[in-house]
Amino acid sequence: MDYKNLSKRLHRAGEFVPKGAILADIGSDHAYLPAYLVMNKQISSAIAGEVVDGPYLSAKNLVAELNLSSMIDVRKGDGLAVLTPLDAVTAISICGMGGALIRDILDRGFHGGNLTGKETLILQPNIGEPTLRTWLVNHAYEIVKEDIIRENEKTYEIIVAEKREQIVPLSEKELLFGPKLLEQQGSVFLNKWEHECHQFENILKQLEKSNKDVAKKIAEVQTKIQLVKEVLA
């Protein structure tokens, strides 16, 4: 993968970035996504944030080689702390991390004032999606679009969210599966949840053999199994 040929998951995430946006790509790695979007005139400018030295330097080098330093500002820092109010960011992408980590990045940005609520969020968790959806709902973000793709034997979900004046509630089922994905229910979605159902059933068997007090955990897993079977039916 390089800035000309993005991975399938990054390319799809990029398609959800609003045209002409000022993008902050957090955890940008080599800055492939912002470079691709700028080169294809899909965004007006970008900030590539990276906390790890190696990828940060790689991003700096790539942007310099492409003569894009006036359009892509590579910054070293933790999460949304790389942003200032003067940046006027209109979209934030955070891709290829666990849902809990993305949640924590957003939460620190929210409390630190770096997340203003004016940005469209393009999020791509590779695990822990319900945790992330719960944070979004609790902070009055509406999930406006979702997608699910399969690449290199891994499943990735994309969540696009926008701030609203009031909380848009989601049911337990919608938090687990995704409100938009529930409506679409394509083959990748169904295959994922068939696999997850088997996993939950194996977990339940192990819990039922346990000598510890796991009644609450058993009830949680049973609920998930029931919800999955309802959807697959």
**What's the rounded mean pLDDT across residues 50-54?**
94
Band (pLDDT 50/70/90 cuts) for residue 198 is: very high
- Pairing state between β 72-76 and 91-97: unpaired
Q: Retrieve residue 73's tokens.
A: 């500002």
The first and second tokens of residue 167, run together, are 């909380």
Contacts with 14 (C-beta within 8 Å, 6 or more apart), sequence order: 6, 33, 36, 37, 42, 93
Going along the chain from its start, the domains and CATH numbers come out as 8-169 (3.40.50.150), 188-232 (no CATH)
- What digits encode the pLDDT tens for the residues 1-35? 677 889 999 999 999 999 999 999 999 999 999 99
Q: What is the mean pLDDT of the chain?
A: 94
d(CA 166, CA 141): 8
Residue 77 has pLDDT above 80, yes or no: yes
In the chain, the percentage of residues whose pLDDT exceeds 70 is: 100
Q: Is the pLDDT of residue 189 over 70?
A: yes
> What percent of the chain has pLDDT above 90?
89
**Model confidence pLDDT, tens digit, residues 116-139:** 999 999 999 999 999 999 999 999
pLDDT level of residue 215 (50, 70, 90 thresholds):
confident
Angle at 46 (CA atoms; ends 178, 58), nearest 5 degrees: 100
Q: Distance of CA 32 to CAs 10, 62, 74, 84, 228, Å? A: 9, 8, 12, 22, 36
Calpha distance 82→92 (Å, rounded): 12
pLDDT at 19: 97
Q: What is the pLDDT of residues 136-174, one digit of tens each?
A: 999 999 999 999 999 988 999 999 999 999 888 999 999
Contact 221, 200 (CB under 8 A): yes
pLDDT of residue 168: 80
Q: What is the pLDDT of residue 167?
A: 83
Q: How confident is the model at residue 211 (pLDDT cuts 50, 70, 90)?
A: confident
- Mean pLDDT of the 78-83 span: 96
pLDDT at 1: 66
When pLDDT is cut at 50, 70 and 90, the band that residue 105 belongs to is very high
